[in-house]
Structure 1
């Protein structure tokens, strides 16, 4: 869908509220962030916004295709703008560093899953765990 996020919300019958604006701006500024981190950023401007409002807003924005989430560990999901979601996450189990790489690096895996199993992979939610070069023995 094209147009500003304001236009996207209105075109789908939703109002542009200050809370929605603050949540979307927080996601944009923070990059990968948990709902709690997003809430903390929003509360810097609007103290009255609580975590429930942030969760509901993130759910709506994801439903509308404006944000997406991934799981980078056992904790809460992390959210980022859907327009910037075309990447794979590499998470180091040693130092916790998160590296983003293009989907072309896993194309062999994606192709093999499709050819062998008929499985279509959504790499936007792909997270690979391991150890970075600094943490490897």
Structure 2
């Protein structure tokens, strides 16, 4: 599994310590799994962690993800119905989810800058596009529909 750099690990330990917590092996395994998988449900993360430590259960994974999100180290996105998908904080983008095949593509958040500006001006709403998933039909499925 890919692990965080020594600098990141030290920063994380300091952050946890400041909040009266410590970096447990389970927390490290969950964070490593999220980094490695890039987009993963809690169940997928649990399966990856259990390859290394079979005794870690899904409850531990959910609690750890909640803590890591509060610390700003991971974030979740709802790509559709069901469990959210988790990724690391610096992995920010908008998700494009195809209704037909389930494919998930990524585009930079700045593609929504114009919309974000209009929402802020018109409604005082500040858009966080990094948590956003847009539903539609991918190019391949749209082309298949046109030829059918």
TM-score by length of 1: 0.92
- What is the count of residue pairs matched by the alignment? 135
Q: CA RMSD in A?
A: 1.4
Match of 1:132 among 123, 128, 138: 138
Unaligned stretches of 5+ residues in structure 2: 1-6
Find the counterpart in structure 2 of residue 123 from structure 1: 129
TM-score by length of 2: 0.86
Structure number with greater Rg is 2
State how 1:65-104 maps to structure 2 within 5 Å. Answer: 65-84=72-91, 86-104=92-110
Q: Give deviations 1:50-103, integer Å, cap 9, x for gaps.
A: 00000000001001111110100011001010122x211111111111111111
Work out the CA distance in 2 between the residues paired with 1:94 and 1:101. 19
Instruction: Show structure 1 runs of 4+ deviating over 2 A.
Output: 2-13
Unaligned stretches of 5+ residues in structure 1: none
CA shift, 1:124, in A, is: 1.2
